[in-house]
Amino acid sequence: MVEENIKRELTDRESIHFLINAFYSKIRKDDFLGPIFNSIIKDWPSHLDRLTDFWATNLLFTRKYRGNPLEVHRQVDEYVGKTIQMEHFGKWLQLWFSTIDEHFLGENAEKAKQRARKMSTIMFLNIFEGRSK
């Protein structure tokens, strides 16, 4: 079990699961992002498991995640009336970085931050591009 007070490396599914749970606990309570996520996600345990698979695939190359996050985020933007802005991704990144920095260190922690930064840019551009179609 991952202890909250000790910084660890992101080396296994358990540590990634802890990160995802700690991070989305912040998201759910956030005044800016919480209303979006809480209005869409009805089964949080399943969603958190899926996101754990996503990040385990990205950081540990487990190949467990199957899905199309670009399309899902485009649908979310549609659901919220095409109101997602870069500021939403900025806040998401801020919370992601702070959660990693609170609990983790090492190469995979840095990779998780770098990959999230790249993904947020790609997702926002995909959403923006989807609005013109």
- Tens of pLDDT, residue by residue over 40-54, are 999 999 999 999 999
Domain 13-131 sits in CATH at 1.10.490.10
The answer to whether 119 and 20 have CB atoms below 8 angstroms apart is: no
CB atoms within 10 A of CB 16: 26
Q: What is the pTM of this model?
A: 0.90
Q: Residue 6 has what pLDDT?
A: 85
Domain boundaries, the chain: 13-131
Q: In this model, does residue 133 exceed pLDDT 80?
A: no
